[in-house]
Chain A
Amino acid sequence: MCGHCGCGSEADTTVLNLETGKKTTMGRDPHEGAQAHGHVHPDGTRHSHPHEHGHDHRDEHDRENLHHGHARADGTSHLQGGHGMLSAEVVALETRILAKNDALAQKNRAWFKGREILALNLVSSPGAGKTSLLERTIRDLSHELRLFVIEGDQATAYDGERIRAAGAPAVQVNTGSGCHLEADMIARGLQELRPSAGSIVMIENVGNLVCPALFDLGEGAKVVILSVAEGDDKPLKYPHMFRAADLMILNKIDLLPQVDFDVSRAIANAAQVNPAITALQLSARTGEGLAGWYAWLRREAAAVGDAVFS
């Protein structure tokens, strides 16, 4: 499974336990590209391909050629002893490209469910206020709800440290060049975090309104945060994200007098993409509207406990 969206590999991904200071680097998927030089043939012989270029791949693999064999880039012929005529074989795969991530996400989901944990995947563009909202939430609710946080960022443990200072156990996942979290990173983060039964795990995704929409982490719900300093047309510009979310939080409403953000238009746009989405308005800075968010959290957390027995 890919661990990156730009150039890079999952080997760049690190998980930092902010409680113990333990830092681990995630392993690379052995099936992932680039490394796979050479291969073993069905007859047990091993080929290595030096990958000389300067020849036209497209022509080389024309169907016609397939039936006559052709010289490989390394100069060996496909017409090998005992094999006779070369033939091509079509294998129907019908495999979903995201199947691996989705399978791991389901494992996470079952893990959460078994422990009656509400897991939320917080997504937004960078700077919308995910971390500030979490800090405030931890300070206000830690006496009644047990909150754990998995922080995702490309680099630095800044946000993880902020969360820890606010009073919640946190694990920082640095994706390196990756622009979203994936299910295996959450599994690894949970191993470090060890959230208690009946708690809430907040997963703060990498700030990005595109890629995180496609990668299920096993969360109970996605919460998209849109600050009023952004445009009210964001739901239409990034429809996949707003469609995947259960809740939209309009943050920084204390700035409304200063910006041209039309709250009702933003909500209508979100509803156009996702008629089932719930919208809340708040300011993590002033505290206005937080009661609605806390009520939503309590309700969802209670529903998780009930769902285990249904």
Chain B
Amino acid sequence: MHELGITSSIVAIVEEAAKGRRVARVTLEVGALSGVMSEAIAFCFDVVTEGTALEGAKLEICEIEGRARCDSCGAEFATDTLFALCPCGSYRLTRLRGEELNVKSIELMEAA
């Protein structure tokens, strides 16, 4: 359950960027291979944002599926585990996508 800590980091990043303004929406990118569960972040979000500029903000999570390329045969395929097996039999894969853990954008209220 590092998601509570991760969610606190999200709040810190967003509050810094919001510079005192209220936040209406937070959009995250969470990859399937990032080691973080979207559901757990959503679960923590309301509790962690209470009393911050993010209180009441909508949380949007863009889940990004994992994608890997086989180092042996070059095949590309979707995967949501860290130990996918290429149809050619190799475990040596380069992960192309799915490890993202980003605050993509925020929507601020009260234009200056």
Chain A residues within 8 Å of B, Cβ to Cβ: 1-7, 29, 31-37, 39-43, 49, 51, 57-58, 60-61, 66, 73, 78, 83, 86-101, 178-180, 210-211, 213-214, 236, 239-240, 243, 271-273, 275
Complex CA gap A4/B2 in Å reads 8
Q: How far is the CB of A280 from chain B (nearest CB, A)?
A: 20
Cβ-closest chain B residue relative to A235: B83
Query: Can you name 11 extra interface pairs (CB under 8 A) apart from A34-B48, A93-B105, A94-B102?
Result: A1-B9, A1-B12, A3-B5, A4-B5, A33-B52, A88-B108, A89-B111, A91-B106, A92-B105, A96-B101, A97-B103
Q: Which residue of A lies closest to B55 (CB)?
A: A51
A57 to B85, CA, bound (A): 44
**Per-residue contact bits, chain B 1-14, to A (CB 8 Å; 1 contact, 0 not):** 11011111111111
**B65 at the A/B interface (Cβ < 8 Å)?**
no
Residues of B within 8 A of A273 (CB): 82-83
Residue B53 lies at the interface, judged by CB distance under 8 Å to chain A: yes
Tell me the smallest distance from the CB of B50 to a CB of chain A, in Å. Answer: 7
In the complex with contacts A42-B20, A57-B56, A95-B13 CB distance below 8 A: yes
Number of A-B contacts (CB under 8 A): 171
Q: Is the CB of A36 within 8 A of B15?
A: yes
Residue of A1, A7, A93, A178 most packed against chain B (CB within 10 A)? A93
When chains A and B are docked, how far (Å) is the Cα of A285 from the Cα of B82?
33
Q: Check A58–B52 contact: CB distance below 8 A.
A: no
10 A-B pairs closest in CB distance: A2-B5, A57-B56, A42-B112, A39-B20, A31-B12, A211-B2, A239-B82, A2-B8, A87-B111, A240-B35
Q: How far is the CA of A10 from the CA of B5 in the complex (A)?
A: 10
> Contact check: which of B49, B50, B83, B102 meets A97 at CB < 8 Å?
B102
Interchain CB contact (< 8 A) of B51 among A49, A78, A92, A213: A49
Q: How far is the CA of A275 from the CA of B9 in the complex (A)?
A: 32
Contact partners of B52 in chain A: CB under 8 A: 33-34, 36
> A78 touching B13 by the CB < 8 A rule?
no
A178: B residues at CB distance < 8 A? 5
Contact across chains for A275 and B5 when beta carbons are under 8 A apart: no
Closest-by-CB residue of A relative to B8 is A2
Q: Which residue of A lies closest to B85 (CB)?
A: A272
Known: A61-B24, A91-B17. A214 touches B35 (CB 8 A): yes
A255 to B37, CA, bound (A): 36
Q: Which of B84-100 contact A (CB under 8 A)?
A: 85, 91-92
Q: Which residue, B14, B50, B110, has most C-beta atoms of chain A within 10 A?
A: B110
